[in-house]
Structure 1
Amino acid sequence: MVVRDIVSWNSIIAAYEQNNDPIPAHGFFNKMLRFGVQPDSLTLVRLASIVAQLNDRQSSRSVHGFIMRRGWLMEDIVIGNAVVDMYAKLDVLGYARAVFEGLPIKDVISWNTLITGYAQNGHASEAIQVYQMMEENTDIIPNQWTWVSILPAYSHVGALQEGMKIHGQVIKECLHLDVFVGTCLVDMYGKCGRLDDAISFFYQMPRRTSVPWNAIIYCHGIHGYGDEALKLFREMLDEGVKPDHITFVSLLSACSHSGLVSEGQWCFHMMQEECRIKPHSKHYGCMVDLFGRAGQLKMAYDFIINMPIRPDSSVWGALLGACQIHGNIELGAYASDQLFELDSENVGYYALMSNMYANVGKWKRAEKVRSLARDRGLKTTPGWSTIEVNNKVEVFYTRNLTNPKCDEIYHELRILTGKMKTLGYDPDYSFVLQDVEDDDDEKEHILSSHSEGLAKVKNSDQCSVCV
């Protein structure tokens, strides 16, 4: 007997989806259709989430089309938010934004979803822009998930002052002890270099789960305080908090950034033998990075060859990065060949290999790699830096000519470069990765046009344009 009660079918699909079992959930949906049971809007809300979990971009268009044909997008804000969330998780942010803007009514969940989508996919500036639009809408009252959405974006661009404003609002709403909001604040202070503030706030909040511990360990790791990260890990164990797979990614990364090879090997062993956590590709990538940064490239390569799972792009990418640091062109070329097969759309790998060739003056090989990227329709993203000036985040790109005070910034940059030379500054032309032969003036211009240099000039106390 076929059960045609849509509520029962939805309940079973929801159970699979909530347990992160998207494949059986999707199979059960198809079974429902074969039995002639028509889905309702709640079914499609679940299906949108399942498609996102499966990273199935092709099916996302079918889900969207089905919803449009039923007219549900204009009638039900829940399903509208689900479609925005689906596209955001699939990193199809153009569609997510278009659906968001087309919603006749937007609630706080709609805004939070789009902000999170931008932030989690590395588009911090866009996330901040949407949040600022939300602030202008007096009908929308931010909630704890708004802060959880926007704080990582401020962390990414180093907007400490803006993050501190959020901290003030969080305190007013008595949400500073919420574990999710609190963890985002720890992350924000830590990534912005305020480790004392991060650790102080960390000890004020609940620490019964691994989530805040992972954040504070990671922040110490990225700033090169590997020993302190290990000390925090031992303290975590003493407090009876069970580490998870993210804990060990943070720990291994900390050991890698601090050159603690033996300690990293101990963590990797402990994760498997004592904590019974099976390594994921990220853990293997961290181990390759650990060996590679320390100059143990053969050990890194042997580790990859002996992995029990097939190395993915994160693993080969770690090896390629290590080869660039230590100038091993031959092994780097081998790693890049693996990457071009595994992840041919990632332009960063092409840029890295091209730069390696350029760094040793092999311009023809560098151009060959760049041509390969162009032939595949790939474009590199210009290097960029951000700096917070007068409570506003300024973004600068390499050779930036778009700032309204561009002429004054470059003029000040030339003055500062001249002053540095009188104090003994000697430009290191090895960082010029373009074939400009013996033109030292052009090389110096390339170096001085780095995005970070432009950002620092913008913030210089001596800079007349910033007074």
Structure 2
Amino acid sequence: MLATTACSRRAWLMCRHRCPSPSQTVTFHRNARSPLPSTPRPDITRNLGLPVGVSVNRNWPSATSALNILREELYTQPSPIQHIPTGRRSFRQRLWHLYTSLHNDPLKLLQLTREDIRALVSVYASASATPPVNLNQALQILEDLQRAGYRLKGEELDMKVAVLWKLRKLEAVMETMEKMQNLEFVPAATSYTAAVYASARIGMMEAATKWMEKMRGKGYTLSEDTYAAMMEGYTWNGDVKGLVEICEQMAHQGIIREVEISNDIVSDSEEAGSHDLAKETTKTRRLVDRAFNHVMTYFIEQNNIHRAQGFYSYKRHLGLPTDTALRRLVEACYQFSETKVLQTLLDKVLAADDWRAGRVVSTALLDHFLAQEDLQKAVTLYDQLRRKRTGSADPILGVHSYVDLLCNLSDSNMATDAMKVYRDLRTFYPSKHLDIDIYNRVLSGLIHGKAYLDARLVHRDLLTDPFVLPNVYTYNALLHLCAQTGSMRIAERLVSEMVARGMPLSHDAYSCLMACHVEAGDSDGATRVFRTMIDAGFMPDVVDFNVLIRAHADPVKKVMPILQQMRDVDVRPDSATYRTLYQAYLNAGQFEDAEKVLQAMADGAQAKLQARTKPDEPMPEDAGFIAGLDTRTLNTLLTQRIREEGIMQVAHEFLTHELDSPDKSDRRLDMQTWMTFKILLDAAVVCVRYMPLAKRIKYEMVRRGYKPGKGVYVQMVGGWAKKGQFSKARMEMKEMEEEAGIPLDVEVYTALVDGYLEHGFLKRARMAVVEEMVGEKGIEPDEVLMERLVRKHMKVGDRSGLGELVKGLQTQARTWQG
């Protein structure tokens, strides 16, 4: 085994260097990786722990060969890659692999010099090597040496104390310190500090005081770390007298700096009444407060945020003022991206119902998430605050935090969450905080997020807001709404208002008007707007031609003149053009032509991909037919496959190959969007037997970071209700209201009531409408819901139940009027 190890080590070394002859004698320079001719120099052999004049030979035993390789790695000048975390980790792993070939044999370990030991331990116990695994390796090296009979001296024992302190092996720290004193070694100041901390943490304050006095006796100046350990010990033990004394010592030594602190006496609403510190004089309490603030500032300057957080908790425990300390700690956490510390602080202040502190912490945490563009975590944080503050009339955030979150969500088209924040903002703050730019961003986000009803609500608020006036960007956003919904009446009114205000129609406005005519089924109107746009001096682009093609796609032969006109004005088709043609050929039954269009689109996309690829880089492995298509086209193909093969087959392949594949390279496409999941969900909820599949799709949708909108919840409620599993339908309603923050409305209850009616539960349907929807939620039933209820009661001949329904609604109406 040893021979094999030696051979493998030699082979490894030969791979890195030019192999010398077997008889050649070489030495290793500490700053070079190449073997040098045998010219022993005193400085080199001393660093290797060898006598002057002795050289290293490759024919020495395996222990010596492994030891030399270890020394070469240890003393080699660090390469640039070792200055990054992965490089340092690889360096430590190589050293540990070499050390394991030595540590079981005492004779091998005893060949290490003190310089070797200190350098090797420093690699694993340095400030940058804080993970416990590295510290345990440093401790194992020192313990292996002691078992081998090596007598550790003062510096090595100081290193051992430091490692034990970092590992929080407090009793071992005290034992090692006692051993150092018995051997008459003088411990370093850091070792004394570790002994003070260990004694105080265990609760042995008398021993901690003795260690502190011994530290003074050796001529060491007590540092902030030592005083901090004593302050923590007295706080843990509830010894206010000892805490005051240690703070007075800090003042006498001149450690406490003049720092800004709150001069307010702790109010009765805080925790001061439950601590003896409240009985002290104002001067004494101010001294303690100043000491805690100074220690917090010291740890913040040392980037030790966790210790600083601990002292903030002690201040809260003692009932000292915390406003200034909290802001200083939060600012440091934000600067060093210590989000876990911020989250811990937030949980503590919310548990104590301290909303003033909670707003400070949550604002910093929210700003961090927004700066990192991590909107999912920002929304999760906002939902947490919202649930905690349910029923309160006070805002959970400042107005600027509301506005920043609202704008970021709107710009990302996260319509559901944006509307939730918008409602809260309108509730807690007056409308003067919303200017026209914010209104426009919210409108655009809601429209692109398909939240058309919410967009109309925001538009209505804008019109009733006395502080803002709509501008041209407002009208353009609303015209986009009309383009997607086909609301010709609203579009005509918007155009009239723009003309009355002297706002000229832009190119984008004409394109929206064309799309509005197409959605309304008026292809001739779209053509008229197209010609008017050209007369107004605007050259049509690919968007305009796509709208025109969509308007005249049936029959498909009308599209050919439009394509010719595109070529005449040198407008190249894009993916939307190909999608429109593809769908037109499918509708006309010309499947071969549809496949040709799809292939032409894929070829064009692959050509663009290849053009963007550098000459010396290979094409992506998955740059096949599918990779050449954009996401919207893939969703179109997904819809077509569902029609042909069924939702079970398509969903199984999607969930298996696209989501569950452990190897990302095995996936044909990694371009899932919210709409991809929505298409699958729409197909699954059609049949009640596919509801478990719909649940799985919704789960994957949420896991991928796509939040379900109101339409998804309505589908899930309706699907479970029709399946007769009303408890699961109720769970969906609860999740929609509490977790997603989407208020229940008549559409949700209509889906629930449809299930009750389908299964013959007329009484439960009446109770859901009268007592819950109208009585508890205050939601007024619409004509659709009432028609279904009346028709079902009349069909089964339940006139008494119908009378109860009418009577209940009349009673609730009188209650609301009262």
Distance in 1 separating the partners of 2:649 and 2:560: 35
The answer to whether the 8 Å contact 2:556/2:585 transfers is no
* 1:292–1:182 distance in 2 versus 1, CA, 3 Å: closer
The answer for the alignment partner of 1:124 in structure 2 is: 486
Distance in 2 separating the partners of 1:313 and 1:277: 20
In the TM superposition, what whole-angstrom CA distance separates every residue of 1:347-372 from its partner, at most 9, and x where no partner exists? Answer: 552477379x5xxxxxx728788777
The answer for the alignment partner of 2:624 in structure 1 is: 273
Distance in 1 separating the partners of 2:505 and 2:587: 32
Distance in 1 separating the partners of 2:424 and 2:717: 35
The answer for the alignment partner of 1:184 in structure 2 is: 547
The answer for the alignment partner of 2:587 in structure 1 is: 223
Tell me how far 1:211 sits from its aligned partner. 4.5
1:160 to 511, 518, 523: 523
Task: Report SS of the residue matched to 1:208.
Answer: coil
- One-letter code of the match for 1:302? H
- One-letter code of the match for 2:371? G
1:114 to 454, 458, 478: 478
The answer to whether the 8 Å contact 1:218/1:229 transfers is yes
The answer to whether the 8 Å contact 1:187/1:215 transfers is no
* 1:60–1:69 distance in 2 versus 1, CA, 3 Å: closer
Distance in 2 separating the partners of 1:286 and 1:29: 30
Tell me how far 1:144 sits from its aligned partner. 0.9
Unpaired segments of 5 or more residues in structure 1?
Answer: 1-22, 31-40, 246-268, 358-363, 383-396, 402-431, 441-467
The answer for the alignment partner of 1:309 in structure 2 is: 659
- One-letter code of the match for 2:715? Y
* 1:200–1:366 distance in 2 versus 1, CA, 3 Å: farther
Tell me how far 1:128 sits from its aligned partner. 4.7
The answer to whether the 8 Å contact 1:354/1:369 transfers is yes
Unpaired segments of 5 or more residues in structure 2?
Answer: 1-366, 375-399, 610-619, 661-671, 703-707, 737-743, 751-781, 797-818
The answer to whether the 8 Å contact 1:88/1:118 transfers is no
* 1:165–1:347 distance in 2 versus 1, CA, 3 Å: farther
Tell me how far 1:289 sits from its aligned partner. 3.9
Question: What is the RMSD of the two structures over their aligned residues, measured on CA atoms?
Answer: 5.5
In the TM superposition, what whole-angstrom CA distance separates every residue of 1:44-99 from its partner, at most 9, and x where no partner exists? Answer: 999936752273526667999999898783xxx66664454355445441224423
Match status 1:335 vs 2:701: no
TM-score by length of 1: 0.50
Tell me how far 1:27 sits from its aligned partner. 1.2
The answer for the alignment partner of 1:292 in structure 2 is: 642
Task: Report SS of the residue matched to 1:293.
Answer: helix
Task: Report SS of the residue matched to 2:562.
Answer: helix
Tell me how far 1:160 sits from its aligned partner. 2.7
Distance in 1 separating the partners of 2:783 and 2:520: 16
* 1:308–1:166 distance in 2 versus 1, CA, 3 Å: same
Match status 1:196 vs 2:557: yes
Aligned length: 320
| Superposition pairs of residues 73-88 of structure 1, within 5 angstroms | 73=435, 81-82=440-441, 84-86=443-445, 88=447
| Superposition pairs of residues 440-451 of structure 1, within 5 angstroms | none
Distance in 1 separating the partners of 2:746 and 2:607: 40
The answer for the alignment partner of 1:135 in structure 2 is: 496
Distance in 2 separating the partners of 1:279 and 1:241: 8
* 1:108–1:365 distance in 2 versus 1, CA, 3 Å: same
Tell me how far 1:172 sits from its aligned partner. 1.9
Task: Report SS of the residue matched to 2:658.
Answer: coil
TM-score by length of 2: 0.31
The answer to whether the 8 Å contact 2:651/2:680 transfers is yes
Distance in 2 separating the partners of 1:436 and 1:63: 42
Match status 1:232 vs 2:597: yes
* 1:298–1:234 distance in 2 versus 1, CA, 3 Å: closer
Tell me how far 1:154 sits from its aligned partner. 2.6
The answer for the alignment partner of 2:371 in structure 1 is: 27
Match status 1:53 vs 2:412: yes
Tell me how far 1:29 sits from its aligned partner. 9.8
2:715 to 321, 346, 349: 349
Task: Report SS of the residue matched to 1:204.
Answer: helix
The answer for the alignment partner of 1:99 in structure 2 is: 462
Distance in 1 separating the partners of 2:470 and 2:639: 44
The answer to whether the 8 Å contact 1:60/1:87 transfers is no
1:208 to 572, 576, 588: 572
| Superposition pairs of residues 374-453 of structure 1, within 5 angstroms | 377-380=744-747
Tell me how far 1:301 sits from its aligned partner. 3.9
* 1:271–1:166 distance in 2 versus 1, CA, 3 Å: farther
The answer to whether the 8 Å contact 2:639/2:679 transfers is yes
- One-letter code of the match for 2:407? A
Tell me how far 1:213 sits from its aligned partner. 2.5
Give the number of the structure with larger relative contact order, counting CA–CA contacts within 8 Å between residues 6 or more apart: 1
Distance in 2 separating the partners of 1:152 and 1:85: 17
The answer to whether the 8 Å contact 1:292/1:300 transfers is yes
* 1:185–1:65 distance in 2 versus 1, CA, 3 Å: farther
Tell me how far 1:237 sits from its aligned partner. 6.7
Match status 1:145 vs 2:508: yes
Tell me how far 1:112 sits from its aligned partner. 0.7
Distance in 1 separating the partners of 2:783 and 2:559: 31
The answer to whether the 8 Å contact 1:60/1:86 transfers is no
Distance in 1 separating the partners of 2:577 and 2:439: 35
Distance in 1 separating the partners of 2:405 and 2:674: 31
The answer to whether the 8 Å contact 1:221/1:229 transfers is yes
Distance in 1 separating the partners of 2:537 and 2:555: 22
Distance in 2 separating the partners of 1:100 and 1:244: 46
The answer to whether the 8 Å contact 1:160/1:188 transfers is yes
The answer to whether the 8 Å contact 2:463/2:469 transfers is no
Distance in 1 separating the partners of 2:408 and 2:547: 24
In the TM superposition, what whole-angstrom CA distance separates every residue of 1:276-325 from its partner, at most 9, and x where no partner exists? Answer: 45985x67765654443224555324303313337887556545555677
The answer for the alignment partner of 2:724 in structure 1 is: 365
Task: Report SS of the residue matched to 1:273.
Answer: coil
Identity %: 11
The answer to whether the 8 Å contact 1:353/1:369 transfers is no
Task: Report SS of the residue matched to 2:593.
Answer: helix
In the TM superposition, what whole-angstrom CA distance separates every residue of 1:12-55 from its partner, at most 9, and x where no partner exists? Answer: xxxxxxxxxxx99941799xxxxxxxxxx9xx999936752273
Tell me how far 1:187 sits from its aligned partner. 2.6
Distance in 2 separating the partners of 1:333 and 1:216: 32
Distance in 2 separating the partners of 1:183 and 1:321: 26
The answer to whether the 8 Å contact 2:483/2:514 transfers is no
